[in-house]
Amino acid sequence: MLVVRPIAMSDYDSLHTCAVESGHGFTSLPVNEELLTNRIQHSEYSFSKSSVTEPGDEGYLMVGFDSETGEVAGCTGIEASIGWDVPFYSYHISTIVHSSQKLGVNNVVKLLTFGNNYTGCSEICTLFLRPTFRGGLNGRLMSKCRFLMMAEHPHRFSKTIFAEMRGVSDEEGNSPFWQWLQEHFFSIDFTMADYLTGIGNKGFIADLMPKLPIYINLLSKEAQAVIGQVHENTRPALKLLENEGFTCRNYVDIFDAGPTVECDLKNINSVRDSFRAKVQIAEHSSSQDYLIANTLFEDFRATAAKAAYDKESESVIISPQVAEALNLGVGDYVRMLAQ
């Protein structure tokens, strides 16, 4: 059984393994001991804050682990409010029309405009599931457990939730979009720029990035072709978010031009469709699958399991194994989502 819980410092080696296996372009998991250690420490601090009334500098990082072996299968995270201490940059795709009635010419042109439009929003991030664990409901659990947390503790998160999707790059980490930027404005390759961003050294972006809008039709054909496109390995994650109601509102990453998708918290399907139920513990024969999370925060737990829900009494029967995995007793409450 895969169970999600807050990360602990003892998970460092497993998080490092995830960082190595995630490959190029996964900015939030750079292979850097100091950064990974800091992320774990900050997450421990964030989960321990009990007096939160609105989103702030908290960063919540969680791991999924095999309840039988203890092996960490992957990680997933939420940043409560981005862009305050460290600037968050993105490009917005806009449209202008160059028109001359006298000449009978109308040209529609698209621009990339540099900005900080997602400042203050909550970001879902750092979703990675190791290849051997990809199957069944594991991917859904790692992604949607964050929405169960948001539904239960909405005051900790912003009105708008967004996610940056990894853009197109090859096995060596070369991005067609970045290659054009590098040629004209930078002198470092994509993997180095991506790494520097991951460890928080973003000053070079503001120093070297063109401040005026960029005409997309002036970019190379290769760069134009990948704007708003996702990395092959990211397509399942994007599909999951689109099914939740997330959509791209013409914002893309400044390095690889991968799409940024967003949704109002209250309109996320898993937030809207999840519900609370009172726990009963017993063996049962139900075949209905649910994502199930306890209602705690510092000791948050979530898993995917079969359960017998009774709508009339608003109660649910879960097995002793599930109850143990989620630290639940009879009479406790869970938040559930049918699958």
Catalytic residues, by residue number, are: 231
Any residues with CB less than 8 A from the CB of 31 and at least 6 apart, and which?
16, 19, 20
Our CA angle for 162, 4, 23, nearest 5°, is: 60
For residue 193, give the 3-state DSSP assignment: helix
For residue 265, give the 3-state DSSP assignment: helix
Rounded to whole angstroms, the Cα distance separating 9 from 47 reads 13
Rounded to whole angstroms, the Cα distance separating 20 from 36 reads 12
Rounded to whole angstroms, the Cα distance separating 78 from 124 reads 4
Any residues with CB less than 8 A from the CB of 45 and at least 6 apart, and which?
none
Q: Which helix (H) or strand (E) holds 65?
A: strand 59-66
Rounded to whole angstroms, the Cα distance separating 12 from 22 reads 15
